[in-house]
Amino acid sequence: MTEISAGTILAMNRDLARLTIDPGRVEAIRIEVKQLAAAIEQVRALVTFNSEPADFMAEFAIVAEAGKHD
Amino acid sequence: MIDWATASLCEVADAIAAGRVSSREVTEACLDRVEAQEPVLHAFVEIDRQAAIAAAEAADRALAGGARIGRMHGVPLAHKDMYYRVGRVSACGSKVSDEGVRKETATVLNRLDDAGAIEIGRLVMVEFAMGPHGHNANYPPCRNPWNPEYIPAGSSSGSGVAVSSGMVFGSLGSDTGGSIRGPASVSGVVGLLPSRGRVSRAGVMPMSFSLDAVGPLARTVRDCARMLSVIAGKDDADRTSIDTPVPDYEGLLDIPGRLPRIGLARGYFDEELHPAIDRALEEAADTLRRIGFQVDDVKVPATTLGEISDLHPLVMKAEGAANHMTTMRGRSQDYTFEVGNRLQAGFFITAADYIQALKLRGTYLRLFSEAVFEHVDLLLTPLLSRPVPTIAETTGLQGGAYLDMVSGLTRNTKVVNYLGLPAISVPCGFTPEGLPTSFQLIGRPLAEAQLLTAAHRYEQATEWHRARPPLASRQAAA
């Protein structure tokens, strides 16, 4: 499980996003970030090398078209 | 005597067109209901009684003068406060956006204007459409019209409340993870999530461009069909809108034809289902069978749906953070604690992770379609798995408890946004606490006509859509 510290949250906000952060938000953000990181980690192996985001709308059109021929 | 404020949008529109009632009469009936209930329900950000009456009188004069009228001529509506109109503020539920007038009008508002609809005010929403409970610390608490102690759900909270309580006949909401269907369900009205690209998003506040959709909430399926017929279709101002003909959704409702096959979802959607909701869903399935639909169990890809459920917030927050980065640098203190946290979390998603989450959408849509649409046309699911929570139960939560609450309210809806599919929520009963409950029908891309037809047939065979909440009066506030 990914662990993200409060120090990481503060440093990334300041140095990367250039955002000032209310210290009261740090723990809530840390928990959310941990959950998001875990979500992608569990499915990373499913991502194929030659797929791309545009595949979605191609599949969308295929599924829509299939419905017309039922 | 007819209480016009409780009639359906189509009934009122047809009565105005036929001269059985004036737009002024129905608009005043709605405004009276607003005046009586707003101190309790807090559904409106702004309402302009004088302007609404003036617009209604103009509609009546046009009709009397023989003008060609649209399908919603003189009908009072109000929309989630994120639909831009030239010269007007759209606060989007936030202090960040509550200043400065807009320089554009949303395409969907232009289309409703062309159909003759009257907009009487702006409706409360969760800040930047980011929360399924309906809370917004910037406004007095928006309340469920069936019981003010309960949440109205969100993020289109004012939309569900205003339609259910007779303040307006229909409303536009927006849906990124369930924000039309949730509020519609807990308020006992119908909510429609159109397919990705079916309705233009030009001039509408963006939350997540991969997941956002614009759609109607109204008292009946026919009302939603009429609203969709008006707002759907290609728009040059929104290049994600799809260039495919718009059927007359309302006209198709009563045309006999092959009924779509319906699958009752087994797996994922039926996990941890509350007995009362399970019972209402099974009864809805039985009703559909009784009126001629073939309804069979369909095993859904539960693992895939669980993964989608986890990935959805990653996409939503990454895109939300990108939208808000500039504003957050200058005005982070003006975001509410809750929404500020959720957006700020989006800055920690790496580009690689975000791209991978998007790359999986095509694969997941194929897997879902093979499991479901190779067997049936529509999938029947519960809308919420648990009874509607109270405002007290959902206020002040932090950390894991907060995320669990959000996930619990959206688990059955957000997966549909990730897949870009259309869905409709339809009232099908009440929980033991007296709050409405709904089922969800999910269709193939652009299968809105099938969804509406099935939902309409169900509605015609039941009475749930006729139930109205008690009038929330000033006395209740005291």
Question: Which of B160, B77, B134, B85 lies closest to B425, judged by CA?
Answer: B160
- Give B208 to chain A, closest Cα distance, Å: 15
Q: Which residues contact A50 (CB under 8 A, 6 or more apart)?
A: none
Of the candidates B310, B359, B373, the beta carbon closest to that of A67 is on B373
For an interface test with B, give the residue of A44, A59, A62 to mutate (most B CBs within 10 A).
A59
Scan residues 356-395 of B and list those with Cβ closer than 8 Å to A: 356-363, 365-366, 369, 373, 377
pLDDT at residue B362, rounded to an integer: 96
ipTM of the complex: 0.93
Of the candidates B311, B341, B445, the beta carbon closest to that of A43 is on B311
Scan residues 192-231 of B and list those with Cβ closer than 8 Å to A: 195-196
Question: Which of B61, B60, B173, B74 lies closest to B119, judged by CA?
Answer: B74
pLDDT at residue A69, rounded to an integer: 67
CB contact under 8 A, A58 and B362: yes
Q: Please tell me what DSSP assigns to residue A16.
A: I
pLDDT at A14 over 90: no
Active-site positions of B read 80, 155, 179
**pLDDT band of A2, cuts 50, 70, 90:** low
**pLDDT band of A11, cuts 50, 70, 90:** confident
Whole-model pTM?
0.96
pLDDT at A25 over 60: yes
What residues in B contact A4, CB-CB < 8 Å?
348
B340 vs A22: CA distance, rounded Å = 10
Rg (CA), chain A: 19
CB contact under 8 A, B347 and A13: yes
What residues in B contact A27, CB-CB < 8 Å?
398-399
CB contact under 8 A, B348 and A4: yes
What residues in B contact A56, CB-CB < 8 Å?
358, 361-362, 365, 420
What residues in A contact B325, CB-CB < 8 Å?
17
Sign of the alpha-carbon torsion through B411, B417, B420, B426:
positive
What residues in A contact B402, CB-CB < 8 Å?
28
B285, B378 in Cβ contact below 8 A?
no
B388, B153 in Cβ contact below 8 A?
yes
Instruction: Say whether residue A11 is in contact with chain B using an 8 A CB cutoff.
Output: no
Of the candidates B317, B361, B398, the beta carbon closest to that of A56 is on B361
pLDDT at residue B477, rounded to an integer: 47
pLDDT at residue B475, rounded to an integer: 44
User: To which residue do tokens 């105005």 refer?
Assistant: B16
Sign of the alpha-carbon torsion through B455, B460, B463, B468:
positive
CB contact under 8 A, A36 and B349: yes
Token duo for residue B429: 């009963």
Instruction: Say whether residue B100 is in contact with chain A using an 8 A CB cutoff.
Output: no
Instruction: Say whether residue B473 is in contact with chain A using an 8 A CB cutoff.
Output: no
Instruction: Say whether residue A42 is in contact with chain B using an 8 A CB cutoff.
Output: yes
Give every residue of chain B whose pLDDT is below 70, as ranges: 1, 473-478
CB contact under 8 A, B363 and A42: no
Residue B337, phi-psi category: left (phi > 0), alpha (psi -120 to 50), beta (remainder): alpha
pLDDT at residue B473, rounded to an integer: 65
B218, B9 in Cβ contact below 8 A?
yes
CB contact under 8 A, B332 and A21: yes
B359 vs B179: CA distance, rounded Å = 24
Higher-pLDDT residue of B86, A15: B86
B397 vs B411: CA distance, rounded Å = 18
Q: Contacts from B369-372 at CB under 8 Å and sequence distance 24+?
A: B369/A59, B369/A63, B369/A66, B369/B444, B371/B298, B371/B299, B371/B300, B371/B301, B371/B304, B372/B263, B372/B298, B372/B300, B372/B442
